[in-house]
Structure 1
Amino acid sequence: MKRGLWLWLLVLWSTLGLAQPHPRFSVGPAIAAEPLLWAEQPQKPSQVERPSWERLLLGPAPEGFRGLAISARLLAWSVPWTLAGSTAGLLSDDPWQRSFWLTSSVWAAVNSGIALVGLLGPEPDQASLRDLLYINAVLDVLYIAGGVFLALQPDARSQGAGWAIALQGAWLLLFDLFNALALEHP
């Protein structure tokens, strides 16, 4: 169990971009420009190549690809939770654990869908993305409150589902606030 906890902490640490040193609330420097050869023409923003997955997932979000990086990091969090939750929930006979893991799995699957839409869609402008993250943070507080309400019910299934919702909502609150604040200070 301790090994699994460390793995989740590592995923969280990497997803939030804390694995690389960078200034507080900074998304870091823009992608370093390569020197142009004499025959090359500067590229238009629509022709700029997307950064690698490693660059999107770890460290500061690349300038011009912040929405893509946020979506990639959300996907990096939600896919393992979907798989782990489905597996643990289907293998458990305990109603509390089964409810906790399956609710976590469904919640994470929805986040995976949201992340995929962000990965496939156009890069949003910084102000719109920041506002969307703040709106999501308010919704996350409501998810946490609803989860705690369910967790306080006498039924073991409601308790498991409630703690799953509260946990997922708490992580999303941290994720959304961290990324919104990072967009405040380019």
Structure 2
Amino acid sequence: MRRGLWFSLLACLAFVGLAQAQNPFSVGMAYAAEAQQPERPSWDRLLFGPAPEGYRGLAISARLLAWSVPWTLVGSSIGLTSDDPWQRSFWLTNSVWAAVNSGIALVGLLGPEPGKDSLRNLLYINAGLDLLYIAGGVVLALQPDPRSQGAGWAIALQGAWLLLFDLFNTLALESP
């Protein structure tokens, strides 16, 4: 078990290191592009308050990352130390789900800023998928096996939070 936890930690650190690195084949182009673009808003500006115009996708990704990293760490810690099958399944499923969200958020942080219409469409698609996650989680939670129940409630919880997150951010895009 501990080997898996260490591997997960090392993989996260390597992914963060890659996230901060520039493409080695276009270092000169990256510096030239940075010189032409306005400076990115600070992390506190991205995380709190209205998302800055022109950086809404970046703000959404930063907020998703800020939410998912603690869930990954807490879920792993509690899940790996629990002897109860329901608790173990619940927390480890939350941890894996949040780790995937962290990866998605990192891709959003590294990628180009999407247009407002593209971002809105993506959030609506995600909201539809969130409804499927919730339904699938509830079906799994109604199974007699405690491990299935724990995983199901974790999936339903994660899906419900993501649905609220996606709908909130979609509505925020509509406001000036």
For 1:95, the equivalent position in structure 2 comes to 85
**What is the aligned partner in structure 1 of residue 113 from structure 2?**
123
1:142 pairs with 2:115: no
1:4-31 Cα shifts (integer Å, max 9, x gaps): xxxxxxxxxxxxxxxxxxxxxxxxxxxx
Deviation at 1:174, TM superposition (A): 0.1
- CA deviations over 1:138-168 (Å, ceiling 9, x no partner): 0000000000000000000000000000000
Partner in structure 1 of residue 95 of structure 2: 105
Change in 2 beyond 3 A, CA 1:138/1:45: farther
Q: Distance in 1 between matches of 2:128 and 2:62?
A: 22
Provide the residue aligned with 1:184 in structure 2: 174
- Ranges of 4+ aligned residues in structure 1 off by more than 6 Å: none
Is 1:160 paired with 2:160?
Answer: no
Structure 1 Cα separation of the partners of residues 81 and 136 of structure 2 = 26
Could you list the runs of 5+ residues in structure 2 that have no partner in the other structure? Answer: 1-33
Q: TM-score, normalised by structure 1?
A: 0.75
Residues 66 and 97 from structure 1, CA distance in 2 versus in 1: closer, same or farther, beyond 3 angstroms?
A: same
Q: Offset at 1:47?
A: 1.4
Q: Indicate the residue corresponding to 1:151 in structure 2.
A: 141
Distance 1:64 1:85, change over 3 A: same
Root-mean-square deviation over aligned CA pairs = 1.3
Equivalent residue for 1:74, pick from 64, 77, 83: 64
TM-score (norm 2): 0.79
The alpha carbon displacement at 1:185 in A equals 2.5
Q: Tell me which of 49, 70, 81 is aligned to 2:39.
A: 49
Deviations 1:61-104 (A, max 9, x none): 01110000000000011000000000000000000000000000
CA distance in structure 2 between the partners assigned to 1:155 and 1:46 by the alignment:
57
Q: Percent identity of the aligned residues?
A: 85
Structure 2 counterpart of 1:60, one-letter code: P
- Residue 175 of structure 1 corresponds to which residue in structure 2? 165
1:36 alignment partner in structure 2: none
Q: 1:46 to 1:66 in 2, by over 3 A?
A: farther
Residues 97/48 of structure 1: CA separation in 2 closer, same or farther (3 Å cut):
same
How many residues are matched?
Answer: 143
